[in-house]
Chains A and B, each alone.
Chain A
Amino acid sequence: MPRYGMVIDLKRCYGCYACSMACKTANHTPPGVFWARVLMGEVGTYPNAVRQALPVLCMQCDEPSCLEVCPTGATQQRDDGIVIVDQDKCMGCKYCVMACPYGARYSVEKWESYFPDGLPLSPLEEFQKKSWEEKSGVGKATKCDFCLDRIDDGKQPACVQACPAKARIFGVHDDPESEVTILIKKERGQVLNPEFGNKPKVYYLFPR
């Protein structure tokens, strides 16, 4: 069984947030929930300071700490390495949210409108809320699953497809011929915070 992974080329990413928006559109995540988020950081000192964007999503770790702490067995790892949450087993204790060092998990109990001052949900929000509740449930742990539905249909994850700079490359992680593996080897891909010991499968190509 192939194990999926992703490469994010930070040399190409310019922080346009298209991935965040594509993810929200595809998965109907509630306000405040960003399965694909973009952090902005600064490095260096004047006149050599640069601003760098860092897209972050669920790392689909080989040794996920969320899986370890789940008391009910709701968090599971598929044969292809993707970590999923069985909504029928999740009791919403949020321990996995505390356990994920990458902050990739969310638990939402109430859908609040994007609009301020307590305005009622718009028809689009009503649709998204209904869709979200059917798929992810209320008060359950949720996370990025590399757009499983799209992968099963032979498509790329929404964030990968939407990236205008082609900074995201999705593919099989353990195939030596795959683009993902070649890029990781050729450009010395690195993972975020390797000291966490979770063995993430999202690699970053960093400007040198």
Chain B
Amino acid sequence: MDPKVNGQLQHDWGWLIAAYLFLGGVGGGAYTIAALNSFMGASMELSTTIGLWIGFPALLIGTLFLIADLGSPTRAFLAGMRPGTSWIARGTWIISAFMVLSFVHLVLRQFTDVGTTAGGQTAINIIAIAGVVCAIGTMAYTGILLSASKGIPFWRSGVVPVVFVVSALVTGHFAIMLGMTLSGVTHTTVETLRTMALEAMGMVVLEVLAIVFFLQAAFRQPDPRESAERILRKRMFVFGYFVLGLAVPVILMRVVYNSTPESGVGGIAAVAVIGAVLGLVGGLILRQAVLICGALPTLNIAGFEFRRIHRAKEPKPGIGTLPPQ
């Protein structure tokens, strides 16, 4: 392993952290959509139920990924000790509050009849509003965690939290659509799927705008530019995220939106599942690509920059052989 040099990619945060950020986003996005749908009446009943079932488990699994990445997992309980300055500590409290609220919301709605009384419904609504605040906090936190890292210039952008929030809402949409289709598509479900497909398309457009703005801003400065060039050279990002994770799902969502129950429930379900799965994989790829393309800043003193020296390696003669004449 080489010693750390300027422009070297960070290798301490890998796919476990990408999965943590992704699942935090999916959980936050799915819950936000579910909670907002719960105020829209019976027409969005199924999407609310599915969203609540996705929110809490996604967060729980995501947290397990974070704990798995810790060098000393048994000390994970210390994570919230310094919320005054550390975003990991703040995030710990935000996610903890969100997990409690999303769990209570799920239990009250699905396993009790509290919602049948006026007072009980008001209580659930208050929990839902508080939950949405924490969900937005969680989605934003996954981006702020990176943008507050002074050692990686590529991440030091206020646009990163925006990209991650929008991506979380997109993946939340796709997760709910996937859950809905897997739980059985009926004629009523198709209408909800069409509404969600329209919303997902709008959110994907926003995500494209955010990511383009993020990369464009990165290209304006030398250190982030190096990471931006690296990320655009990655097939995983260009084809996995832009093409398969954004473009193809938009086309498939358009197909879902244009369909009617008469055009075949099974076909609509298949298209929705493929689009949702690709969109979810794209969300994971986005986070992984942003993480692994984070490079160390260039050190300089008195205008003298210490960059990595790129030189073609000359072939060395093997042991016991003479160098070529």
- A residues neighboring B (CB under 8 Å): 10, 20, 31-32, 34, 37, 39-43, 52, 54, 56, 65, 68-74, 89-95, 97-103, 107, 109, 137-141, 190-193, 196, 204, 206
CB-nearest residue of chain B relative to A90?
B72
Q: Once bound together, how far apart are the Cα atoms of A75 and B216, in whole Å?
A: 35
Q: Are B299 and A72 in contact (CB under 8 A)?
A: no
| B70 part of interface (Cβ distance < 8 Å) | yes
| B75 part of interface (Cβ distance < 8 Å) | yes
| B151 part of interface (Cβ distance < 8 Å) | yes
Q: Are B151 and A192 in contact (CB under 8 A)?
A: no
Q: Once bound together, how far apart are the Cα atoms of A196 and B299, in whole Å?
A: 10
Q: Are B72 and A92 in contact (CB under 8 A)?
A: yes
| B133 part of interface (Cβ distance < 8 Å) | no
24 contacts between A and B (CB under 8 A): A10-B301, A31-B1, A37-B3, A39-B5, A39-B306, A40-B309, A41-B304, A41-B306, A52-B306, A68-B85, A69-B88, A70-B86, A72-B75, A72-B82, A91-B71, A92-B73, A95-B145, A103-B296, A137-B71, A138-B72, A191-B301, A193-B297, A193-B301, A204-B301
Residue of B4, B79, B82, B296 near A34 (CB, 8 A) is B4
CB-nearest residue of chain B relative to A52?
B304
Q: Are B79 and A93 in contact (CB under 8 A)?
A: yes
CB-nearest residue of chain A relative to B155?
A98
Q: Once bound together, how far apart are the Cα atoms of A41 and B310, in whole Å?
A: 11
- Say what secondary structure dominates the interface of chain B: loop
Q: Are A140 and B151 in contact (CB under 8 A)?
A: no
| B57 part of interface (Cβ distance < 8 Å) | no
Please provide the 5 A-B residue pairs with the shortest distance between their CB atoms, ordered closest to farther: A92-B71, A139-B71, A32-B1, A91-B75, A41-B306
Which chain B residues lie closer than 8 Å to A31 at the CB level?
Answer: 1
Assuming A70-B82, A73-B82, A95-B86, is B72 touching A101 (CB within 8 A)? Answer: no
Residue of A94, A103, A139 near B4 (CB, 8 A) is A103
- Say what secondary structure dominates the interface of chain A: loop
Residue of B10, B299, B302 near A56 (CB, 8 A) is B299
CB-nearest residue of chain B relative to A104?
B4
| Interface-centre pick from B82, B294, B296 (highest chain A CB count, 10 A) | B82
Assuming A95-B86, A98-B10, A139-B71, is B81 touching A71 (CB within 8 A)? Answer: yes
Q: Are B1 and A140 in contact (CB under 8 A)?
A: no
Q: Are A98 and B301 in contact (CB under 8 A)?
A: no
Which chain B residues lie closer than 8 Å to A69 at the CB level?
Answer: 85-88, 148-149
B148-161: CB near A (< 8 Å → 1, else 0) gives 11111001000000
Interface residues of B in 126-167 (CB under 8 A from A): 145, 148-152, 155
Which chain B residues lie closer than 8 Å to A91 at the CB level?
Answer: 70-73, 75-76, 78-79
- B residues neighboring A (CB under 8 Å): 1-6, 8, 10, 12-13, 69-73, 75-76, 78-82, 85-89, 92, 145, 148-152, 155, 294, 296-297, 299-302, 304-307, 309
Q: Are B302 and A54 in contact (CB under 8 A)?
A: no
Which chain B residues lie closer than 8 Å to A39 at the CB level?
Answer: 5-6, 299, 306
Q: Are B301 and A190 in contact (CB under 8 A)?
A: yes
Q: Are A102 and B76 in contact (CB under 8 A)?
A: no
| Interface-centre pick from A91, A97, A107, A141 (highest chain B CB count, 10 A) | A91
Which chain B residues lie closer than 8 Å to A100 at the CB level?
Answer: 150-151
Which chain B residues lie closer than 8 Å to A40 at the CB level?
Answer: 306, 309
Which chain B residues lie closer than 8 Å to A141 at the CB level?
Answer: 71
Q: Are B71 and A192 in contact (CB under 8 A)?
A: no
Assuming A98-B13, A137-B72, is B6 touching A43 (CB within 8 A)? Answer: no
Which chain A residues lie closer than 8 Å to B86 at the CB level?
Answer: 68-71, 95
Q: Are B151 and A99 in contact (CB under 8 A)?
A: yes
Which chain B residues lie closer than 8 Å to A101 at the CB level?
Answer: 150-151, 297
